[in-house]
């Protein structure tokens, strides 16, 4: 945590949707007062608001979003992907001139398309889409923790007309939270995330369903004997259904493309096993290991 003799990055920072991601931002910013002088939380659910108060992870909790964003210099939408556009439309008219609007959605092209109309009459608001590549399988305000973003990537997706100064401040905020930054286009973001995150989740949800469909006796034994392979899959599959439905629907194109490629590769593996083609099988297994090794070298494993 940095010593901050100078003014904080933001005077008033508002988090809409203090769930896993939002409450982790709040928790970190409560510890590092160089991020914002005042932290405001807002959630559609009164129980979440109450819980945030109990946890003491915001200076103020204001349930009404329009009310909450008043006089903020930065508003970060931490709500599910499917409602980011709606919430943007709700808060943008109430934001002060020159304020920054950011969001942390797991998909980008459709989220940006959903937010832009809300900003059409507010060209003075600086929109900075971002995606912190960090998370767990838990959700809600109790799930967050201040070190969630430490040493994880945060992807920035500034638009052509996003003022560089706004990007710099959002960058400084994520850096203060320990994240490493990378800038890319929304389209590229959606393809990369489709393969590194969305497809793995789809496969994990699916295999759990496949196991569940097996005859009753086998199913109970599947649960009893879940070897490490299956256990790792179920850990991924424990994530929130609404969040993942939103992600799948909002990154439909890139995800379906990656799934097609994957299905073709799985079919090729099935054919090799059916034919007993050792070379292809070993080659594919060995490639998995090579990727793994690179990950370890990149300190991501």
Ligand X SMILES: NC(=O)c1ccc[n+]([C@@H]2O[C@H](COP(=O)([O-])OP(=O)(O)OC[C@H]3O[C@@H](n4cnc5c(N)ncnc54)[C@H](OP(=O)(O)O)[C@@H]3O)[C@@H](O)[C@H]2O)c1
Residues 258-287 that bind ligand X (CB under 6 A): none
Residue 87 in contact with ligand X, rule: CB under 6 A = yes
Within 185-244, the residues that bind ligand X by CB under 6 A are 240, 243
Residue 227 in contact with its own copies, rule: CB under 8 A = yes
* Residue 285 binding partner per list ligand X, its own copies, none, with a CB distance cut-off of 5 to 8 Å that depends on partner kind: its own copies
The least CB distance from residue 57 to ligand X, in Å, is 13
Could you tell me the two tokens for 131?
């995606």
Residue 179 in contact with ligand X, rule: CB under 6 A = no
CB environment 146-169: b (16+ within 10 A), e (fewer): bebbeebebbbbbbeebeeebbeb
Residue 102 in contact with ligand X, rule: CB under 6 A = no
Give the residue from 262, 129, 102, 241 showing the smallest Cα distance to 190.
Answer: 129
* Tally of residues, the chain: 301
Within 3-42, the residues that bind ligand X by CB under 6 A are 16-17, 19-22
Of 19 and 34, CB closest to ligand X? 19
Give the residue from 246, 230, 143, 130 showing the smallest Cα distance to 198.
Answer: 246
Of 268 and 285, CB closest to ligand X? 285
Interface residues with ligand X (CB under 6 A) are 16-17, 19-22, 43-45, 48, 78-81, 83, 87, 104-106, 131-132, 135, 139-140, 240, 243, 247
């Amino acid at each position: 945590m940095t010593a901050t003799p100078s003014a904080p990055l933001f005077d008033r920072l508002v988090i809409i949707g203090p769930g896993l991601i939002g409450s982790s931002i709040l928790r970190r910013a409560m510890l590092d007062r160089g991020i914002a002088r005042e932290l405001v939380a807002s959630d559609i659910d009164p129980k979440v608001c109450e819980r945030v108060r109990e946890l003491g992870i915001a200076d103020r909790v204001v349930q009404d979003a329009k009310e909450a964003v008043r006089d903020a210099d930065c508003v970060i939408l931490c709500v599910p992907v499917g409602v980011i556009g709606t919430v943007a439309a709700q808060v943008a008219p109430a934001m002060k001139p020159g304020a920054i609007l950011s969001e942390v959605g797991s998909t980008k092209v459709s989220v940006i398309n959903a937010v832009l109309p809300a900003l059409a009459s507010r060209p003075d608001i600086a929109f900075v889409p971002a995606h912190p590549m960090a998370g767990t399988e838990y959700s809600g305000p109790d799930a967050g923790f201040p070190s969630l973003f430490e040493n994880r990537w945060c992807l920035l997706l500034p638009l052509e007309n996003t003022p560089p100064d706004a990007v710099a401040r959002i960058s400084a905020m994520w850096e203060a939270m320990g994240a490493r930054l990378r800038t890319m286009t929304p389209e590229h973001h959606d393809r990369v995330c489709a393969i590194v995150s969305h497809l793995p989740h789809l496969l994990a949800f699916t295999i759990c369903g496949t196991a569940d469909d097996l005859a009753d006796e086998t199913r109970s034994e599947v649960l009893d004997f879940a070897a490490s392979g299956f256990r790792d899959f179920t850990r991924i599959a424990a994530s929130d259904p609404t969040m993942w439905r939103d992600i799948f629907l909002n990154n439909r194109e890139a995800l379906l493309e990656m799934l097609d490629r994957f299905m073709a590769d799985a079919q090729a593996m099935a054919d090799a096993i059916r034919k007993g083609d050792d070379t292809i099988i070993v080659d594919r297994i060995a490639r998995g290991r090579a990727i793994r090794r690179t990950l370890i070298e990149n300190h991501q494993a």
